[in-house]
Structure 1
Amino acid sequence: MTEARIVLVDGDQSSRKSLKGMLTKLGYWVVGEAADGLGGIRVVRARQPDLVIADASVLGAGGFELAEVLREDKLAPLVMVAESHAQGLLEKARRARASSLLLKPVDEQALYWAVELAIINYQEIIQLENQIKELKEKLETRKLVERAKGILMETLGISEAEAYRRMQKQSMDKRVSMRQIAEAIILAHNLKS
């Protein structure tokens, strides 16, 4: 069990109170509450929770904006709660990109598993996105270094190994990254052309 920080967004105060009681009993911290999506955005930005639990009924007037802000700004995962008879429930959850969907009345054990899985899966997604970003940056750097080496080989008439060694020496001497050296070589070459 984690001591996750959670924000509740639900227009029904008694429903928020019930969820808050269960979450507190399970060891979670409810760090904020809101009655609508726009209020939820303000609370989420102010409190920076690990998870947001929102009633499907608020996903309309400002609620989809809440879901969009959570997703685009990578603020927290979303768990939706809804009445089982609500129209288009699965479509609403899919559009909101909810991590989980709970039906009322919410069962304490189901709530626990939904919260834990949402947080764990969200952390893995963020970690994977960071790895992808890092790999893209490495690939881009490699492409720039290769292009810069080609420019040095062509303009100075040196071998690939010598071009790389010169770039590496400049990188160490100037205390800047190989990417910055490569970008400078490419820029200088483009200015001459």
Structure 2
Amino acid sequence: MEKSLRIMIAEDEFLVLMGLKSNIEQLGHQVIGEATDGESAVELAIEKKPDLILMDINMPNIDGLEAIKKINEKLFTPSIIVSGYYDEDFIRRATEEGVFYYLIKPIDIKDLKIAINISISRFKEFQKLQHDLKDTKKALEARKYIERAKGILMDRKKLKEPEAMKFLQKLSRNQNKKLVVVAKEIIQADSIFSE
């Protein structure tokens, strides 16, 4: 069985809320919070930091999609929207707000299990993409510093590009520092000598 999740439910119909809670617990997950209106759903999600949110679209105070938008501005959490009917406009809005799944009442336990599994899987893919994007940005930034440091070495030491790179690598090894750290130090030193 997959890992037990900490799930928050936001539903204003008591019987539906109890049914969802029962199904979630039967699936081996934990209900860590229940909200019956949009505003308290936002506060509860920010306080409890659930692994997943099940949110009814029609909520008092602020609707479910607006609540998800406010939650995602503070902490991005996978969410499943629950609605009493199929509505293209709601689905479009839900997608724009980063909702991972859309369920129509009545919800049986099999549909709920599929929705939870797909939502968590999509969320993990999303997190991986975010991580890969950060790594790519870091690599590009490091590349810029290394290129600039090589340029300084080529200029000051009259080295060719491959020799400058070897010099940087040797400094990196000898000082037991990352190449980008050595490159930044060379750039900093050069700016001091250039003044």
TM-score, normalized by the shorter chain, greater than 0.5: yes
Q: Distance in 1 between matches of 2:74 and 2:122?
A: 17
Structure 2 counterpart of 1:134: 135
Contact kept, 8 Å, 1:38 with 1:65, in 2: the verdict is no
3-state secondary structure, aligned to 1:138: helix
Describe how 1:1-193 pairs up with structure 2 within 5 A.
Answer: 1-2=1-2, 3-58=4-59, 61=62, 63-84=64-85, 88-190=89-191, 192=194
The sequence identity of aligned pairs, in percent, is 29
CA displacement, residues 81-105 of structure 1 (integer Å, 9 cap, x when unaligned): 0011668322332232211100111
In structure 2, what is the Cα distance between the partners aligned to 1:59 and 1:136? 42
| 8 A Cα contact 1:69 1:75, kept in partner | no
After superposition, what is the alpha-carbon deviation per residue over 1:145-167, rounded to whole angstroms, capped at 9, x for unaligned?
A: 11210121012202323322332
Cα distance, 1:73 vs. partner?
4.9
Q: Once the 2 structures are TM-superposed, how far is the Cα of residue 134 of structure 1 from its aligned partner?
A: 0.6
Q: Deviations over 1:152-192 (max 9, x none)?
A: 10122023233223323433444432222222333444452
CA contact (8 A) 2:39 2:61 kept: no
CA pair 60-132 structure 1, distance change in 2 beyond 3 A? farther
User: Could you tell me how far 1:110 is from its partner in structure 2?
Assistant: 0.8
Amino acid at match of 2:22: G
1:67: how far off?
2.0
Q: Which amino acid is the alignment partner of residue 36 of structure 1? A: D
Is residue 77–residue 98 contact of structure 1 (8 Å, CA) maintained in 2? yes
Q: 1:138 to 1:85 in 2, by over 3 A?
A: closer
Q: Is the 8 A contact 1:9 1:35 kept in 2?
A: yes
TM-score normalised by the chain length of structure 1: 0.85
Asked if structure 2 preserves the Cα contact closer than 8 Å seen for 1:144 and 1:183, the reply is: yes
- CA drift of 1:13 comes to 2.9
SS of structure 1 residue aligned to 2:103: strand
Query: Kindly tell me: are residues 137 and 35 of structure 1, through their superposed partners in 2, closer, same or farther at Cα, counting changes over 3 Å?
Result: same
2:8 aligned counterpart, secondary structure: strand
Residue 39 of structure 1: how far off its partner (Å):
2.1
The secondary structure found in structure 2 opposite 1:57 is coil
Contact 2:149 2:187 in 1 (8 A): yes
Cα RMSD (Å): 2.5
The 3-state SS of whatever aligns with 1:88 is helix
- Segments of 5+ residues of structure 2 without an aligned counterpart are none
2:187 alignment partner AA: I
Shift of 1:61: 1.3
AA aligned opposite 1:178: L
Q: Secondary structure of the residue that 1:147 maps to in structure 2? A: helix
1:31 deviation in Å?
1.2
